[in-house]
Structure 1
């Protein structure tokens, strides 16, 4: 009987140790993902100049306008302030706070699908979320692609409406460092 109890206790101890190791590895990966994304976005700190090209759903044609952005990290946190300015359309100016989740799986409400280092040394981060878009506010899968380097930065929003099978480029911001 004593041997059986000893064997069971050893198995329980081994299983508990394995669970602790797996949880620790998962926590380390989450911390690494979050830190990596924060480092990627930290590269954006500063002032950028560029353009916004967006699809005008009413006309079906793309429209391009000047766009600038300033990115600031908020107190060494996982939050970044994006200050968007449009030199010729001041009424469109806006500020957005982007947060990276503690587990590194989300940027705001967008799930991080991939993070890839491109051949040119750029980092490309792709996120997705369910949402609504278009003049009719239709259900859609919304994909955001961030491409980051020390001298260039772009964000591209693509939309896949529920009834369609083709992605539509909704808008793209392209910037270069000032």
Structure 2
């Protein structure tokens, strides 16, 4: 009986340690995104698959946390192309392993204090919806914020920069 009690106690301790570690990971990622709440101004550069050339346009962004949740609203505003405006919601999983359906690959503190977060998922991209690996790189800072989407089409070996948003914090 004492042996069973010891096994259960060790199992409980391991489970507690695992859950505590997962909570810390989630909290770190949440804090990274809380840091970028606010209003941002910048630009979007994306690869136009039809012409094969990059296209750049003005872009503004407002990031708001939904109170009491692990979710953030991203309100995208394109001053010169209002028809492209959109709102996205991203959620950070309770275990800190996912941003939406994107699996966390790495989280690194950069020398300037910003955080670099990389996620990946499988999906489709391109004008013909080809299967691809999709990598999202977030650079989160107090005064700068960027996201870059890279695509690796199935059967290919070279990643393609699909688009990049680069923002500076607006001071109200």
* TM-score, with structure 2 as normaliser: 0.97
Are 2:122 and 1:118 aligned?
no
- Tell me the number of residue pairs that the alignment of Structure 1 and Structure 2 aligns: 170
Structure 1: where are the runs of 5+ without partners? Answer: 1-8
Are 2:65 and 1:69 aligned?
no
Cα offsets for 1:80-100 (capped at 9, x unmatched): 000000000000000000000
Moved over 2 A (4+): none
- State the partner residue of 2:148: 156
* Correspondence for 1:29 among 8, 21, 26: 21
Shift of 1:154: 0.2
Are 2:142 and 1:142 aligned?
no
Cα offsets for 1:11-57 (capped at 9, x unmatched): 22221111111110110011111111111100111100000000001
* Root-mean-square deviation over aligned CA pairs: 0.7
* TM-score, with structure 1 as normaliser: 0.94
Structure 2: where are the runs of 5+ without partners? Answer: none
Shift of 1:156: 0.3
